[in-house]
Each structure stands twice: as C-alpha cells, then as structure tokens.
Chain A
Amino acid sequence: MSSRRRIALLTVLSIAGTLGLAQAQKYTTGEEVMNAVDAKPTPSNLITTMTMTITTASGQSLTRQMQVWSADDGNKEVVKFTAPADIKGSGFLSTTLPDGSKQSMIYLPALDRTRRIASGQQQESFFGSDFSYEDITDLQSGTNKKYDSKLLKTDPGPVYVVEATPRPGADTAYDKLVLQIPEATLIPTKIEFYRDGSLLKVMTIHKTVEVGGYTLPSDFEMKTVASGSTTTIQESDFQVQDSIPDEVFTERFLRR
C-alpha cells in the first residue's frame, strides 16, 4: 500500500472513530452527567464492614475495622469499631435533626462513658484518615446539589471528565473537583480535589460491587498530595436493608 493511500485510510478511520465516539456519547453537558450520576439508585439503608488503613508518608500504617449502619440516605449513622483491640467497642452515632443540624455522640468503653459531641465540622478528618466527613457524605449523597458542573472532555470509553465548582453558599472545603466518570457505571473512578487553586487530594475508586441490584464502590483510596499520606477503605459484607430499626441509632445500642 502506498504511503498516500495509507494516510488517507488512517484519516478516514480516524474520522469514523471520532463520529462513532460522538454517537456513543449519551450526555453532552456536565450537568447531564452529574444528574445521571445522582439519579443512579443507591440503597437508603445499608450495613457494611469497613476496613480503613491509614499510611503516612514515612510508611507508618494503622488499620481499623468498623461496622457501619446507615439509614435514611445517611441521615442516621452508627459506626462501631471492631479492631484493633484497644479501641474495640468504641462507637459513634450521628443523626440529622429535622432542622438539618446534626447530633453526634461517642461511646468509649474503656471510660464506660458516652459523650455528646459538637458536629458540623464536615471538612475535618474522618477518624484521622485522609477522607473528610464531607468526602464520605458526598460519596453517599452525591455532589450535584453543591456544585455546578462543566464537561471538560470525553475520553474513550466513554469516560466523562467533569469539572465541578461550588455553588454560591455551598458548605464545602474545596473550590474545584475534577471527576472521571465512566458512562457504563456512572460511578466516578477518580476525583481530584482542589483548594486555593492547588491539587489537595486525589481519590481513586478501584472496585465496585453489585449488591441487591445496586452498583456500589467497595474499594477506594484517598491520597493527600502535600503530606503524601494515603488512606484506603475496603467495604465488605454489604447488607442492603429495607429499613434498620430505630433502636440501632440510640445510646443503648452504642453501648452494647
């Protein structure tokens, strides 16, 4: 084949490929993509086992295991630590009140004491990890309410690359997110978190599982760029529930 013909064929194939990609692309704007992500059904009530490993830049690591009960789309939550032994039995209860405020309580078995704690620090670390409470909440409830979205590009797959910027008055620690969302799952595989114009953290979702008709992320990692620390969370033993009894979200259950 002459080189001129080869170039012509490659050009045709390339144009055809681009057209094919454009035809396969279901969403044309960032808002459409994020609406589709939010519209994806998620279980309202869920019980899981979470294994969280924090690794510092110097290589120190700490693994904690906990059981998590989550109801009413995350408005009620109980976390009970099962490992390591020195914190086994410690628990955390969080409920959202009708006025939108949160009420939190901790239980420390070694002190045999429960304490109400002030909440509202959504942007602070989730049990000393690289995740913040906001990151965890947004994973469950989505980001669409807080952010305006713009489609930056569409990679082969197709994978949508969406830039999300906070809406005025939104309670968030970030001034920009860049999400990579495969059309096939509509679950972000990578999220970059920016603050003050600099890349602060990068979250990667490595694995999803099919549970009760839902596709849920089960294996994810957050890396803090400046400190070099990383936290991985692996979720297992998913139990999608129609409902979780109210008595789970009480001080008595916390102490049990």
Chain B
Amino acid sequence: MRSLAAFAIRRSRLVIAGFAVLTLLLGAGLTRMKFDDSIESMYPVDAPLTVLEHQLEKTFGAGKLLVAVVEGDIYTPQALTDLSSLTTALQRIPGVERVTSVANATRMADDDGLLRIDKVVDPQHLAANDIAGIRDFLATSSLYGHGRLVNAQGTAASVLMQISSSGNPHAVVAAVREALAADWPGAAHLAGSPLFEVEMRSIALRDLPLLVGLAALLIVLMLYLNFRSFRGAFLPLLAVGIGGVWAVGAMGWLGAALTVLNVIGLVAILAVGSSFSLHLLGRYAYELATGRNKDDAIRLAASETGLGVLISGVAISAAMTTLVLSSIPTVRAMGLLTAAGVLAALVASLLLLPAILHLLPVPRRLPEHEGRAGSGRPLRGLTRFVIRRKRTILVVAVLLAAVGAIGATRIVPDTAVLNYFRKDSALRQSFDLVARVFGGTSQVEVQVKGDLTDPALLRAMLAFEHGVDAIPGVGASTSIADVIQTIHGALTGSAGLPDTPQAVAQELLVYQMSGNVSDITQLMTLDHSQGLIQITTSATSTESVQKMLHAIEGVAATTIGDRAQLGYTGPLLLQLAIQDALLHDFIVSLTLAIGLVVIIDSLVRSLAAALVTILALLVTIVLQYGVLGYLGLPLDLATMLLGTLAIGVGDYAIHLTVRYMEERRRGRPPEAAMEQSLMTSGRSIVFTALTLGAGFAAMITSNFVPIRTLGMLMDFTVVSIGVMSLTVLPAACLVFLRNPRPLRARKGEVSTHV
C-alpha cells in the first residue's frame, strides 16, 4: 500500500492521464450498451420448467400470449362488425402469429344433412336471429364456451394473440394499441407477458437515469455534510463515476446487456464506492489537522486507511461475484456489474484520489475530525454504555437474532413476475380487469405424451379438464380432445368421442379439409404423439400457484393416470422455477459471501477478528429477514439479494475491529482500546451508514417493486449495521476478542489512526 501511495504521489500526472485514457476507452463501450428487457432474463435458464416451456413453444408454436379485452355491448351488429375489423387489423401486424376472437372462430354444424364448417360470425349476416345463434353457440361450445371469447353478460370480448417469441414485443404492443384505438370505439385493455417487457423497458428508461442521479445527489449531500466542502463531496463522486463508467463500458465492449436489475448494481457502486473515498478523505483531513504535510497525509491515508478500504472493497466484490453462480441471467449480470464497478471504484479511490490530492492545494478549512466536540459527546456516552452493558447488549443481540429467526420462518416466497409491478400501475389494473372478466390471463401448459388418437386417453383428458375446472382459480381448459369432441358431434350428431383411433384420425382429417391446420397443431403434433392442454388461471402468488399445481397434479393422477406421460409448465409456473433458483442462489451466495468475507478479512488481520465482525453482520441479516417475515414481505428477486448485498456493503464494520486491534497492540487494555476506537472511528461509521443509506434511499422511488423493496430494506440494513457496529460489535470484541492475535504483525505501526 505504501508503494502504491508513493507511486500515486510521484507520478500523479501520469496516473491522472492513465485514468483519463482508460475512462475514455472503456467509456466508448457505453455507446455499444444494449438493454435486455426480455422476461426470459428473469427466469433460470436451465431449470426443467424453463426447458419444457421452450420445448412446447417450439413444438406447438405457442409464442407469448397477449390478451385484449374490449368492452361494449358485444351482441350487436355494430360491435361484431367492429370486432371483425379489429381481428383483421390485428392479424396484419407483423409479429402477431395467430389471432383468435369470436370474429374468426369457426364452427362445424349440421345444416339439414349438410356439414358446414364456417365462421361463427359472418359480417354479412348479422340479423337478430343470427346474433342469437352466435350467442347460443358461444354458450354451449366446448371449444369456446366458459366465456372464453365473450363473457356471460355479453359486455366484454377477448381477442387472444400469439406473439412470436423472436419478434419485437414493443413494436407489436404499440401496433396492437394503435389497432385497438382505431378499430374499437369502446374501452380496451391489454394483458399478457409481452406487456411485462414493454413495462420493464419503460421503467428502466425512467429508473436508470433518475435513480442513479438521485442516489448521486443524496450521496453528495451526505458527503458535504461530513466534509463541509465541495472537494469532499465531489472527489468521491469522481471515483465512483469512473468505477461506473469502467464497469458499464466494459459490459458494452463485451456485448453484455443491462437489465432493469442493474439499477441496484449502479446504486450499490455509487454508495459503496463513495464510502471508500469517505474513509480516505477523512483520514487525509485528520492527518492534515494533526499537522502533517500534504504528501505525508496522503501517504498515511492511502497506506493505512487504504489497507482497510482495499480489504473491504475486495470483500464486497468477492461477495457480489458469488451471484455469478446464479442460474438467473439478470442476477448474474447484476452481480458482475456490481463487483466490477466496486473494484474499479476501489482502484480509483486508492490511486487516482491520492494523485489528485497531491496536485490540489491543501484545503483551507478542515472538517471536524473524530474525537473532537460535536459527534464526540454522544460517542463518549455510547462508549461508556457499551463498556458497562456489554453482556446485556450481547444478550439483547442474541434475543433480537432469535426473534428475527422466528420472523424469518414466516417468509413466504413470491416470485410472480406480475407482482414486480406496482399495484396501482396501469399494467396491474389492466391484468386485474382481464382476470375478473375472463378468469385469468395466465396459462398452465400440460404436455401430454401418448397416443393422442387413443379414445381412452382423449376421454381421460376431457375428464381431467372437467376435474380441474372445480379447482379454485382455474378457468377454462382447452385440448385436442375438445376439438375432436366438437367435430364428432357435428359429424355424427352424437355427443362424446369417436370409438377407434382410425375414427379420430379421420375426423381430424375432415376438420383439416376446411379448418386451419394450426387449430390442430397448436394442440397436438402432426404425428399424434404429443398434445397440449392449456389451462387458464387467475392465480398469481407463488403460494397459490403451488397449491393449484398440486391440485392439478392430483386430478391428473385420478383421470389420466398412466395413460400418458405428463409435464407441467407455462409462464405462470415458471415462477416456481424462479423460486427454486432464488432459494438455491440465496443459500449458495450468502454462504459463499460470508466465507469469502471472513477469509479476506482474516488474511491480513486475524481470523477471530473476522469472525467477530461477521457475527455482528449475521445478527443484522437474521434481523433483516425477520423484519421481512413480520412485515409480510415475500422472498423475491430483490429480497434474495439482500443478504449477499448486506454482507458486502456492511463490511465497513471491520474498520472498528481493525482500530480496536491496533489499540490493543499498542498496549491499551480492552476497554480503553475500545473507547479510543469508538471515539476515533465512530464518526466514519456513522457517515458511512448515512452515505450508504442515502444512496439506497434513491431506490425507494423506483416503479419496479423489487428495487423499491430492496431500497427500503437496504436502508434498514445499513442503519442496523451502523447500530450493530457501534454496539454489538464493540461488546463482542470486549467479550470474545480481548486478546486478539493477528496472523501477522503490521509493519510501521503509527501512533494515530482513523
């Protein structure tokens, strides 16, 4: 560290030029930055549910479902004519693979001995009796019944659109909205997964500049409050700005894409990176105030405090790098961005900051340093309290941890993508309306592998559909069995299904003579070996989806049994895969992060010191998840990240441990050493907590619920860590670390430290 500091002072202009060139080069990558708003970036790529979903999408051309609900008096000639125009207009939109509405639905019917296969709605024939016929047909059809296309009251109609997975959902949704405005005179609402991507992009375009800007502003404010100078406020910002540009620019050059979750990473870089400079500038000011010359003050700050900064920076990066093990692409990208940005900010703080300080004149006014009046009095009172009540504090901490642990058991995972959006958002309201009118916008897809011409299997599929209909939250189901039942009824005049596989194949042939072949291939493969049952559902929360899936599996066991091999997937069920992945990531990342932080902290200090420090952090994390449980906040994409972020961000507590060990090495008894440590490092800890809290507070303004929740919880966390660092950690040091043994002695002990 001493050599590094000496180099930064000796070659200050070279260092600044080097940073400028590197920032320009890497910054050019910003222009190549892409944004990934795909919903797939939120799903674990290798999970069996995801793999099956892609397989079914390929096999049945399912694409993504976009549902338009139009309101009005549907059973009128004008409304049906408008629906026909709308359906035609939607079919013309590039990227819309298939449109199903009452306007293009077909029916097979016996017309005085003549088998007719024609459109349900003929715009040329919309007299009162024709419309009554349409209404009767929709009420009784096994394919379109259950209010699939028009609700029972006739006040709303749905238009189902299959959107190509490879298409541009933004262009498609914009064109669909245009068509709805042009061709439907009444109210219209949209729901479906393509809207998630549109909404996520819109949120990200708003959040990325706003949140990062707001975080920077709040951090600058906190830094100004600490240093009372523009230099103190803006130099840290320069270091983290460079960190952000390097990290995002490198992502651009590497062809990686930003996701909405990267907002967390950028804010974390800002907050954590600022805290590095905060410690260094604090030490620099302190050394100047004690009479050292500029270069000596820089050298001491960079070498002594810099060591602590280096260790905590590496520890944070290591903790965030553990997220690379996640199977969710957006979590991986966030982890990498944060780790890279924090490392870059660390390098800028340790090298660029000393170089700039060397070239700048000594500040005329120095901030209040530690131990002086102001923060000194409350810190002294706190120190006395901690020393007097150290065991009580530890007992309270253990009790708090126990209460937190009990609360943590109440956490319910909820990874429903819909819940990532605010309840009052237009998107949620639209989805709620569609769910109310048509019983849901989500689908469970059941893959059926077997001989789909086997009448016994088809009968079992009908029984299954009938059975799942009784499950709460489950709406209409569709399968090839419904299509065949419809054909059979029209051909023979009798209800039920054909008796032989040959009859099934031949009836399907009849349907194909004038029906669209995709009516069949969207539900069954051409070789009849694989089928798809689509179940509409209004369930959203992960818990209700889990229960519903369990119930569906129960019905399948009693109706289909071993007649076919079944597989379950669909956008709704993918949240179960997210849940499994998150739980896995949570355990792996948190364990690894704790391990890495302990190892990194102990490499240059002592294992016992590292363990004591991490103990304080663990109490905070347990408390954090307890709060989650008591407040009824679910474990989701954001709250899963909380533990790992807290371990990384909260490692600033180690500064107190380091200071205490230094005081012990200098021969002070434990209580006196801790008093001196709290009096000198307390202010830095308070302002680090305030700076971090200010940065994460900006996330509370996000429209993306996980980011907003994470912002709130991270604020709770940094405040908790601050409190723990000033209470539980000193108490733990006084009880468990009375005689610390460093792994190696530090050379050149200095008499005063921050």
Residue ranges of A at the interface with B (Cβ–Cβ < 8 Å): 54, 56-58, 60-62, 81, 84-87, 90, 92, 106, 108-111, 113, 115-118, 121, 124-125, 127-129, 196, 198, 226-227, 229
The segment out of B115-123, B547-555, B746-754 that lies at the interface is B115-123
Given the known interface contacts A86-B506, A227-B97, the answer about A118 and B515 at a Cβ–Cβ threshold of 8 Å is no
The segment out of B470-478, B495-503, B597-605, B698-706 that lies at the interface is B495-503
Given the known interface contacts A60-B527, A86-B453, A125-B512, the answer about A111 and B111 at a Cβ–Cβ threshold of 8 Å is no
Q: Which of A54, A108, A127, A196 is close to B526, meaning CB atoms less than 8 Å apart?
A: A54
Given the known interface contacts A58-B59, A86-B505, A113-B491, the answer about A128 and B92 at a Cβ–Cβ threshold of 8 Å is no
Contacting pair B498 A110 (CB below 8 A): yes
Residue of B nearest to A228 (CB): B61
Q: Which of B58, B97, B111, B509 is close to A87, meaning CB atoms less than 8 Å apart?
A: B509
Given the known interface contacts A110-B498, A117-B117, A118-B116, the answer about A227 and B518 at a Cβ–Cβ threshold of 8 Å is yes
Residue of A nearest to B511 (CB): A128
- Within B588-641, the residues touching A (CB, 8 Å) are none
Contacting pair B92 A226 (CB below 8 A): no
Contacting pair B59 A118 (CB below 8 A): no
Q: Which of A81, A111, A125, A127 is close to B503, meaning CB atoms less than 8 Å apart?
A: A111
Contacting pair A198 B92 (CB below 8 A): yes
What are 26 A-B pairs with beta-carbon distances under 8 A? Answer: A54-B526, A56-B526, A58-B60, A60-B59, A60-B525, A60-B526, A87-B506, A90-B506, A108-B503, A108-B510, A109-B502, A109-B506, A110-B498, A111-B498, A111-B507, A115-B491, A117-B114, A117-B117, A117-B510, A117-B514, A124-B516, A125-B512, A125-B514, A226-B97, A227-B61, A227-B97
CA distance A33 to B114 in the complex (A): 42
Residue of B nearest to A124 (CB): B514
CA distance A108 to B510 in the complex (A): 9
Contacts of A84 in B (CB 8 A): 505
CA distance A102 to B520 in the complex (A): 26
CA distance A84 to B506 in the complex (A): 11
Residue of A nearest to B95 (CB): A226
CA distance A118 to B515 in the complex (A): 13
Contacts of B503 in A (CB 8 A): 108, 110-111
Contacting pair A116 B113 (CB below 8 A): yes
Given the known interface contacts A58-B58, A227-B61, A227-B518, the answer about A127 and B512 at a Cβ–Cβ threshold of 8 Å is yes
CA distance A128 to B512 in the complex (A): 5
Contacting pair A58 B114 (CB below 8 A): no
Contacting pair B61 A117 (CB below 8 A): no
Say if the beta carbon of B517 comes within 8 Å of chain A: yes
Counted as pairs of residues, one from A and one from B, with CB atoms less than 8 Å apart, the total is: 109
Contacting pair B502 A86 (CB below 8 A): yes
Q: Which 10 A-B pairs have the closest CB atoms?
A: A128-B512, A86-B505, A110-B503, A128-B517, A62-B526, A110-B502, A108-B506, A118-B116, A117-B115, A60-B526
CA distance A57 to B92 in the complex (A): 20
Contacts of A60 in B (CB 8 A): 59, 521, 525-527
Say if the beta carbon of B202 comes within 8 Å of chain A: no
Contacts of B517 in A (CB 8 A): 54, 125, 128-129, 229
Kindly list 19 other residue pairs between chains A and B, CB separation below 8 angstroms, not including A117-B116, A124-B516, A125-B516.
A56-B526, A61-B526, A84-B505, A86-B502, A86-B504, A90-B506, A90-B509, A106-B115, A110-B500, A110-B503, A111-B506, A115-B491, A116-B113, A125-B512, A125-B513, A127-B509, A128-B509, A128-B512, A196-B92
Contacts of B409 in A (CB 8 A): none
Contacting pair B61 A118 (CB below 8 A): no
Contacting pair A127 B492 (CB below 8 A): no
CA distance A226 to B61 in the complex (A): 12
Contacting pair A56 B513 (CB below 8 A): no
Contacts of B115 in A (CB 8 A): 106, 115-118
Q: Within the complex, what minimum Cβ distance (angstroms) separates A190 from chain B?
A: 23
Contacting pair B506 A58 (CB below 8 A): no
Residue of A nearest to B512 (CB): A128
- Within B86-140, the residues touching A (CB, 8 Å) are 92, 94, 97, 111, 113-118
Contacts of A106 in B (CB 8 A): 115, 510, 513
CA distance A197 to B611 in the complex (A): 71
Contacting pair A118 B118 (CB below 8 A): yes
Contacts of A57 in B (CB 8 A): 61
Q: Within the complex, what minimum Cβ distance (angstroms) separates A94 from chain B?
A: 10
Contacting pair A117 B513 (CB below 8 A): yes
Q: Which of B114, B491, B512, B516 is close to A111, meaning CB atoms less than 8 Å apart?
A: B491
Residue of A nearest to B502 (CB): A110
Q: Within the complex, what minimum Cβ distance (angstroms) separates B182 from chain A?
A: 15
Residue of A nearest to B92 (CB): A196
Contacts of B505 in A (CB 8 A): 84, 86-87, 110
Residue of A nearest to B524 (CB): A60
Q: Within the complex, what minimum Cβ distance (angstroms) separates A194 from chain B?
A: 12
Q: Which of B504, B518, B520, B521 has the most CB of A within 10 A?
A: B521
Contacting pair B518 A110 (CB below 8 A): no
Contacting pair B97 A56 (CB below 8 A): no
